[in-house]
Amino acid sequence: MNLTQLKAYKVKDVVFSNNITAKVQLHFNNKVSYNVRYDNNGMCEGTMTVEVFDKNQPDVLNVKVTVCGVFSVSPDAKKELVHVETFKELFPYAKALITTLSATAGIPPIIVQNVDIDSQDIYRFDMNAIKGETE
């Protein structure tokens, strides 16, 4: 049984910088960030930013996309599990967007490597606790 269901997604931001001037060998590096915000109506919004750049010369080629997804959430779902599940649902959209952008830009398509989110530590910040408030 899924704890979440993707209801909608949108591309929030795209940055594409292509300064390749000659035959050059690129060595890509990826950065992925993801944040989930919850409301009190059984919904959450995930915001994911994926950036791909040459690790030796980041100004030669840089692709950065931010996608947002709106999810319904099971009422008894733990937030750490929701974070992982929504990441897995949204990541393929960001990955496909980067591949499509690079392919239509006249360069070989960039295939972003999958992220093993299951083996990552999930950091959760309770903003009410940080501010000294109670829930």
Q: What's the chain look like in SS3?
A: CCCEEEEEEEEEEEEEEECCCCCCCCCEEEEEEEEEEECCCCEEEEEEEEEEEECCCCCCEEEEEEEEEEEEECCCCCHHHHHHHHHHHHHHHHHHHHHHHHHHCCCCCCCCCCCCHHHCCCCCCCHHHHHCCCC
Q: What is the tens place of the pLDDT at every residue in 77-116?
A: 999 899 999 999 999 999 999 999 999 998 889 999 888 8
Whether 98 is in a domain gets the answer yes
Q: What is the tens place of the pLDDT at every residue in 34-66?
A: 999 999 899 999 999 999 998 888 888 999 999
- For residue 99, give the CATH number of its domain: 3.10.420.10
Whether 133 is in a domain gets the answer no
Whether 81 is in a domain gets the answer yes
Is the Cβ–Cβ distance between 2 and 77 less than 8 Å? no
Whether 76 is in a domain gets the answer yes
The model's pTM is 0.83
Q: Quote the CA–CA distance of 70 and 40 in Å, as a whole number.
A: 14
Whether 8 is in a domain gets the answer yes
Does pLDDT of 120 surpass 90?
A: no
Q: Supply the range of the domain harboring residue 68.
A: 4-120
Q: What's the pLDDT at 135?
A: 42
Our CA angle for 116, 118, 121, nearest 5°, is: 100
Q: What's the pLDDT at 16?
A: 95
Distances (CA, A) of 90 to 7, 51, 102: 11, 15, 19
Whether 126 is in a domain gets the answer no
Q: Quote the CA–CA distance of 18 and 106 in Å, as a whole number.
A: 10
Whether 18 is in a domain gets the answer yes
Whether 108 is in a domain gets the answer yes
Number of domain units in the chain: 1
